[in-house]
Amino acid sequence: AAILQILAKSPARLPSLKDVEGCDAVFIVGEDISNTAPRLALALHNSIRQKPMAIARKLDIPYWDAAALREAIQDERGPLFVATPAATRLDVLATAAFRAAPDDLARLASAVAHALWEDAPTVPGLAEDMRSRAETIAQALRQAERPLVISGTAMGDEALIQAAANVASALCALGKDASHYYVTPECNSLGLGLFGGMPLEEAVEKLEKKSADILVIVENDLYRRADRSLVDRLLGAARNIICMDHLEGATTARADVVLPA
């Protein structure tokens, strides 16, 4: 819900994975990307090569000449900052990695936003070491042409999501082509949120009152989502159950029709 509210007013664009590969500075706030979005982690491996590619361009080395590129770039990497509660597999690629509790990560991100743009909210009582870290991250993002901020719901912390959004908004205020990538627990989470919808209890009530009688379940094992007794009531109240899924499970076992999808 917090992400959807931010999306409604955020000036930052939502990048595709291909767009992520073209970003030249990255700030990850609170997400262990290798665990929550491995395809995004792969795209970041390519993004940290964007800034060093300037070396190749100065030498007129074509992009297809991999051997010459490796020789020219060596171990140079673009700025990648990881701010998470625990170590991640991306730390080895990071310019710097910061460990802190979610509240402190939110304060760090807010400090970065304020360092970029003075109209962003201030952070009272900020420790000097955190202020220095914020300035380092802000400077790298300020120098980038296509900076990227990554956040998501892994920490369950709305303040963290808002602070990361403030960083992206501050970059946009500076005229940067900034992007904000949101990581959610599963595919289609944001799309489903945009659709809206009713809680499962309301669906049970509709079926039991016979205002609906056909239940269509799309790629969702309901027994993994809710209390078994509630799901039993839901499935028991439907005249027919149609499941569309690519995996078999307890829900598909109760279906009258299963369509592989």
pTM (two decimals): 0.77
Query: Which pLDDT score is estimated for 223?
Result: 95
103-135 confidence digits (pLDDT tens): 999 999 999 999 999 999 999 998 999 999 999
Do 83 and 95 meet the contact criterion of CB atoms below 8 Å apart? no
The H-assigned helical ranges of 117-238 are 128-143, 158-173, 189-195, 200-208, 228-237
Please count the helices (runs of H) and the strands (runs of E) in the chain.
12, 8
Residue bearing the bigger pLDDT, 9 or 251: 251
Do 47 and 21 meet the contact criterion of CB atoms below 8 Å apart? yes
**Which tokens belong to 141?**
């993002």
Strand partners, 13: 179
**How many residues are recorded in the chain?**
261
**Which tokens belong to 42?**
């792969």
76-88 confidence digits (pLDDT tens): 678 999 999 999 9
